[in-house]
């Protein structure tokens, strides 16, 4: 059994602020350690449930957060960026299950440290009329390879966002959002024990969880935080500007759609 883990940081217990998540934050190294320990707990759970291969993709910010010397010996780790599939780099048809660890709610919803790929640039991502954040899009990338996303870990709003899209998904709620930069957290030990247990139960019922797919063809409306970002990104010929701060484009294939979204965000980020 092969298990893929995408490891973000905002949904890790104890992480609540830019001082944790930003590479120059004073608490960043502590947050990296907490993230690494939650990943290790997930790896332990996967091994106990019978996984024979585990691939972990570091999917936060610079994507160079996991602390190599502290990592569990029995998995492999993708560290660094850029990567074509970004937070889901490494997933393919050979995997039996995907786990979104340390994930967070989308921009515009309540939830600790919520955003959608870029808090500075992206206001909303609508695909075929439905709003999606990182949880929905990352699960749909796995789904494009017929891999079910079986577990999301993070705050209660991240769990609710996942459950709305994937009704039978397992969740591990390691903290309760109080507001965008305040949470009531489990201790690291309790959080890691919960994650390990939920990885085991999710893998045991993985046959009941269908791969999450967004059916094509795809019409995407990407709204930016302000019109200047739309001005910067409209160099990509595929887009039509439907309002000063919103682009629309169409595509037939989900992975191509995702790559266009990433391209637009990168172009917008250049200003
Ligand atoms: Zn992140």
- Of the candidates 67, 188, 197, 85, the one whose C-alpha atom is nearest the C-alpha of residue 142 is 85
In angstroms, rounded to a whole number, what is the distance separating the alpha carbons of residues 259 and 236? Answer: 12
Architecture field, domain 2-116+134-208: 3-Layer(aba) Sandwich (3.40)
**In the predicted model, what is the mean pLDDT of residues 149-174?**
98
pLDDT confidence bin for 175, thresholds 50/70/90? very high
CA-to-CA dists, residue 188 to 15, 56, 192, 193, 195, angstroms: 11, 20, 6, 8, 10
For the purposes of burial, counting CB atoms within 10 Å of the CB of 215, is it exposed (0-12), middle (13-18) or buried (19 or more)? exposed
Structure tokens at 166: 């994937």
Task: Find the 168 Cα to ligand 1 centroid distance in Å.
Answer: 24
Neighbours of 198 (CB within 10 A): 23
Quick one: pLDDT band at residue 4, thresholds 50, 70, 90?
very high
* Range(s) of the chain covered by CATH 3.40.50.10780: 2-116+134-208
- HSE of 167, CA atoms in CB hemisphere, 13 A: 1
Q: If you measure from the C-alpha of residue 251 to the centroid of ligand 1, how many angstroms do you get, rounded to a whole number? A: 26
Q: For residue 58, what pLDDT band results from cuts at 50, 70 and 90? A: very high
- At residue 89 the predicted structure's pLDDT band, cuts being 50, 70 and 90, is very high
Distances (CA, A) of 6 to 182, 219, 223: 24, 26, 25
pLDDT at 24: 96
**Where does the pLDDT of residue 169 fall: very low under 50, low under 70, confident under 90, or very high at 90 and above?**
very high
pLDDT at 211: 98
What integer is the mean pLDDT of 217-223?
98
Edge-to-edge strand ranges of the sheet holding 130-131: 130-131, 122-127, 218-224, 246-251, 240-243
Q: What is the pLDDT of residue 151?
A: 98
* pLDDT value, residue 26: 97
Centre of ligand 1 to C-alpha 11, Å, is 8
Q: What is the pLDDT of residue 179?
A: 97
The boundaries of every CATH 3.30.1360.130 domain in the chain are 218-269
Identify the three-state secondary structure at position 132: coil
Mean pLDDT, residues 256-262: 98
pLDDT value of residue 111: 98
pLDDT at position 234, please? 96
- Judge contact between 138 and 60, C-beta under 8 A: no
CA of 60 to the centre of ligand 1 (A): 4
Question: Cα of 135 to ligand 1 centre, how many Å?
Answer: 11
Q: Taking residues 83-87, report their average pLDDT.
A: 98
Q: How far apart are CA 16 and CA 155, in angstroms?
A: 11
Q: How far apart are CA 248 and CA 12, in angstroms?
A: 33
Annotated active-site positions, please? 115
Q: What average pLDDT does the segment 90-119 reach? A: 98
Q: pLDDT grade, residue 185 (50/70/90)? A: very high
Give the model's confidence band at 148: pLDDT under 50 very low, under 70 low, under 90 confident, else very high: very high
**234: exposed, middle or buried (Cβ count in 10 Å: 0-12, 13-18, 19+):** middle
Tell me, in angstroms, the distance from the centre of ligand 1 to residue 244's CA: 28
167 Rama class: left (phi>0) / alpha (psi -120 to 50) / beta: alpha
pLDDT bin (cut points 50, 70, 90) of residue 93 is very high
Which superfamily is assigned to 218-269 in CATH?
A: Dipeptide transport protein (3.30.1360.130)
Distance 29 CA to ligand 1 centre (A): 14
Mean pLDDT score across all residues of the chain: 98
* CB contact at 8 A, 51 and 203: yes
């Amino acid at each position: 059994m092969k298990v893929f883990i995408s490891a973000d940081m905002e949904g890790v217990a104890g992480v609540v602020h830019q001082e944790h998540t930003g590479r120059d934050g004073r608490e960043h190294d502590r947050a990296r350690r907490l993230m690494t320990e939650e990943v290790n707990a997930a790896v332990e759970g996967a091994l106990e449930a019978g996984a024979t291969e585990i691939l972990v993709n570091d999917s936060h910010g610079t994507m160079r957060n996991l602390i190599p010397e502290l990592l569990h010996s029995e998995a492999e780790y993708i560290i660094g960026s850029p990567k074509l599939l970004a937070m889901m780099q490494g997933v393919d048809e050979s995997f039996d299950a995907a786990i979104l660890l340390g994930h967070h709610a989308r921009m515009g919803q309540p939830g600790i440290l919520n955003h959608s790929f870029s808090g500075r640039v992206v206001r909303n991502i609508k695909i075929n009329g439905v709003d999606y954040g990182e949880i929905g899009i990352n699960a749909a990338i796995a789904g494009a390879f017929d891999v079910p996303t079986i577990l999301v870990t993070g705050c209660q709003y991240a769990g609710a966002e996942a459950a709305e899209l994937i009704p039978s998904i397992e969740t591990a709620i390691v903290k309760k959002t109080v507001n965008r930069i305040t949470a009531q957290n489990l201790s690291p030990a309790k959080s890691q024990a919960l994650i390990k247990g939920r990885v085991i139960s999710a893998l045991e019922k993985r046959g009941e969880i269908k791969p999450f797919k967004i059916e094509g063809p795809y019409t995407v409306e990407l709204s930016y935080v302000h019109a200047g970002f739309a001005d910067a990104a409209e160099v990509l010929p595929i887009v039509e500007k439907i309002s000063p701060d919103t682009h629309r484009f169409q595509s037939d294939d989900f992975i191509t759609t995702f790559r266009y979204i990433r391209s637009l965000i990168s172009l917008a980020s250049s200003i």
